[in-house]
Amino acid sequence: MNQQSVIIEIRAGVGGEEAALFVRDLFRMYSKYGESQSWKQRIFHSRESNIGGLKEIIFELEGENTFSKMKNEAGVHRVQRIPETEKSGRVHTSTASVAVLARPKKTEINISPGNLKFDFYKASGHGGQYVNKRMTAVRVTHLPTGMTVTCQTERSLQKNKESAISILEAKLLERKEMKEFEKLSKERKEQIGQAQRAEKIRTYNFPQDRITDHRIKKSWHNLEKILNGELEPVIKTLQKSLPAS
């Protein structure tokens, strides 16, 4: 068995509230898919929008082959549909970015405690109201890079602190790998593709009931089924068609 752990970060892009609703849809899709794979899920941080969407969410999936199956989800996802708030029936285009971070092994990233700055505050819920009277939410800043991570979903300060450090380690590993990627030869870069997070990889077209992955120029129908977690045909096709690196 190949037990792995990935940290997934989904953020709303262009499209305001509709983009936040799309983030919620993507999170549900990955959650349901994770359930079908018997993966464990743990939410580290989330921010709700005013109408029940998610401006961002960071969560962990742990289980067999999580990274090899999820890594090709990294990039910009685009949705085309008529928003619930749209009165004239026009189709809008919104985006969300997905980052898939491998959780580092102990030997891969070593952060000196002296390079970390911690801020503690009260966890807040929907609408900004405080959900906890004690200081349990954590913001950790990596001083050499200025990278900041927030975690507030756990009830205990220590658990939020540990989770924030885990996310930071994963982000620093990604940063390190990106720097190494930049040093690669031009030919090797062309094989791998460019930095995936900035690329538009997939469109979810509701009027045509179709998902299209632009990297392999392939489409699947029955959009609702896929968004409800039946992602395996897409995942398997991407594993076969995209470079393994």
> For the chain, which domains are there?
3-105+194-241 (3.30.70.1660), 113-183 (3.30.160.20)
Determine how many CB atoms are found less than 10 A away from the CB of residue 197.
16
pLDDT digits (tens, 9 = 90+) for 138-176: 999 999 999 999 888 777 888 889 889 989 998 888 888
199 confidence band (pLDDT: 50, 70, 90)? confident
Q: Is the dihedral of CA 174, 8, 120, 47 positive or negative?
A: positive
* Angle ∠(175,181,235) on CA atoms, nearest 5: 85
* 71-94 average pLDDT score: 89
Question: When comparing pLDDT for 79 and 130, which is higher?
Answer: 79
DSSP string, 190-211: HHH-S-GGGSEEEEEETTTTEE
Question: Would you state the pLDDT for residue 235?
Answer: 96
Task: State residue 128's pLDDT score.
Answer: 47
What residue type is assigned to position 206 of the chain?
Answer: F
Mean pLDDT over each residue of the chain, to the nearest integer:
86
**pLDDT above 60: residue 185:** no
- Between CA 59 and CA 176 the distance in angstroms is 21
